[in-house]
Amino acid sequence: MIITEILAQNASKWPNDTALVEINPQELEKSHTTWQEYSLIETSLIDSFRSEITWAEFDQKANRFANFLLTRNIKKGDKIGILLMNSIEWLPIYFGILKTGALAVPLNFRYTAEEIRYCVDLADVDVLVFGPEFTGRVEQVINRMPKVKFSLYVGDDCPSFSASYKSLVSYCSTREPSIKISEDDDAAIYFSSGTTGFPKAIVLQHHCLMHSCKVEQNHHGQTKDDVFLCIPPLYHTGAKMHWFGSFLVGGKAVLLKGIKPEWILRAISEEKCSIVWLLVPWAQDILDTIDRGDVKLEDYKLEQLRLMHIGAQPVPPSLVKRWKAIFPHHQYDTNYGLSESTGPGCVHLGVENIDYVGAIGVPGYGWEAKIVNPDRTEVAPGGVGELAVKGPGVLRCYYKNEEATKEILDDEGWLYTGDMAEIRDGFIYLVDRKKDVIISGGENLYPVQIEDFLRANSAIKDVAVIGLPDARLGEIAAAIIEVKEGMSLTEEEVNDFCMELPRYKRPRKIIFASVPRNPTGKIEKPRLREIYGGGSLVAQQVELRK
């Protein structure tokens, strides 16, 4: 079975049940209307704030787009770029592409015009689908993307250089396309984070997407009655592949366009959400807002929320402890993965292992894992090495980059993640990214360990530890600390707090500043090294350590 067949099955079994809901709280704020009042106001505002589609409508929209593409001679193996903010059209467009046998190519909404051009060219994109937020960027480069046959604009006021998605697709057939697709066919191209240069194009096959559905549903037991709150960007494997667990059983999903704590809590309350996947900063903001008294939990209906899980980055145990103190009845899980493994789930903690918070967990459903030395032999028990995973979700290759593929994928199907880890009591603990390890005076420092320690300080909202060049030690650990709103912290207080750390692990430099994170929650450490360390010298040191 391939993933598009699940959509057809859901449409057949539950045609009139709600599949997707889109909520845009910013529209309410513009009209100075409260969430509770929206149903009493004019229809146009209701539609702009909240819209929904059934499973039948979802499938019909996907079929319409697929049939449109087929009339434009799009064929199996072609590539269709998606440059959209989260919206109710995003997933039908994605599935419409898959139904043609073409590859869906989601693009990061933060890409600059030149990054868009680079990725579109790298992936050999034939058609670019984009929204109004990207008109200016696309217009800058559309004439320098010769491989793109045409572009489609999703929204009102279509620009002159593009064609209107709505006017062209709305009247196409809703009949299921008769394209033969196998599990081994390529399904999508996702892009790596690009933290060490331009992104690489990750080719995933249909069986990768299907296995991701099974992994998520196996780990979290979604049922038809569960409602999944989706907040992270759909272009990334994290949010979408977590939704796949609900998709597999026909559960409703709510797409929330915004990350304010009160919006998240109100969406959970009004839409009766039972599962939410958060990034560390969002969970932190919710807890801080509650602590400050800015929101009162009694104003929300949260009894039905059964699972909060976090992924995409190391999760501070102190955060989970705080969450469980406020929400003692919530199940909690940590999910580990990367786009090269079709997103989350190749390793996961498991809701039954709450006593091991701090670990990323054990191999996920259908997955294997091991810790290896630089020569790829397994480390001795208790040793630190690179985490490698193997399973049905491993990428086929980096598109048009055989050399990079060989660096991370061996002949036996093991994917080498670039993450340093160790095994304790049968659980895998993430130590750090290989490229982020700091070598100071001959000692290996793992920034994640220092960051976890510092986050236990009640005045610290976020922290990033990076290596900065030092003439005597090679590198020193520097802590960039973001202080909680309304609180204060001095360098002396931080140094006193760190006295419990071994001397060699204590940060040698303290910087009070905001901690930048990308849309998937990962700290942008290359950017921090560039700002505070000059970038080039650090890069030279990293290169010498390879």
- The string of DSSP codes covering 369-406 is EEEE-TTSPBPPTT--EEEEEESTT--SEETT-HHHHH
Coil, helix or strand at residue 118? helix
Distance CA 347, CA 365 (A): 8
**Cβ proximity of 366 and 381 under 8 Å:** no
502 touches 470 (CB < 8 A): no
Burial label for 37, CB within 10 Å (0-12, 13-18, 19+), is exposed
Closest-CA residue to 254 (of 104, 423, 266, 262):
266
DSSP 340-353: GGTEEEEEE--GGG
Q: Quote the percentage of the chain above a pLDDT of 90.
A: 67
In this predicted model, what pLDDT tens digit does every residue of 142-170 receive, in sequence order?
999 999 999 999 999 999 999 999 999 99
The burial class, CB within 10 Å (0-12 / 13-18 / 19+), for 163 is: middle
pLDDT value of residue 542: 32
Tokens of 193: 């984070």
C-alpha span between 79 and 60 (Å, rounded): 21
Secondary structure letter of residue 534 according to DSSP: -
Of the candidates 250, 287, 255, 249, the one whose C-alpha atom is nearest the C-alpha of residue 271 is: 255
What pLDDT is stored for residue 32 in this prediction? 59
Q: Does the structure show a pLDDT above 60 at 40?
A: no
**What does the pLDDT look like over 255-307, one tens digit per residue?**
999 999 999 999 999 999 999 998 887 888 899 899 989 999 999 999 999 99
Residue 48 has pLDDT above 80, yes or no: no
Diameter of the chain by CA atoms? 70
Q: Rounded mean pLDDT of the chain?
A: 89
**Residue scoring higher pLDDT (441 or 126):** 126
pLDDT in tens, 163-219: 999 999 999 999 999 999 999 999 999 998 654 457 899 999 999 999 999 999 999
Instruction: Give the pLDDT of residue 439.
Output: 74
User: Which domains, and CATH codes, for the chain?
Assistant: 437-545 (3.30.300.30)
Q: Which residues of 300-331 are buried (b: 16+ CB within 10 A; e: fewer)?
A: bebeebbbbbbbbbbbbbbbbebbeeebeebb
What pLDDT is attached to residue 525? 83
pLDDT category, 432, cuts 50, 70, 90?
low
358-412, pLDDT tens digit by residue? 899 999 999 999 999 999 999 998 898 999 999 999 999 999 999 999 999 999 9
> pTM higher than 0.85, yes or no?
no
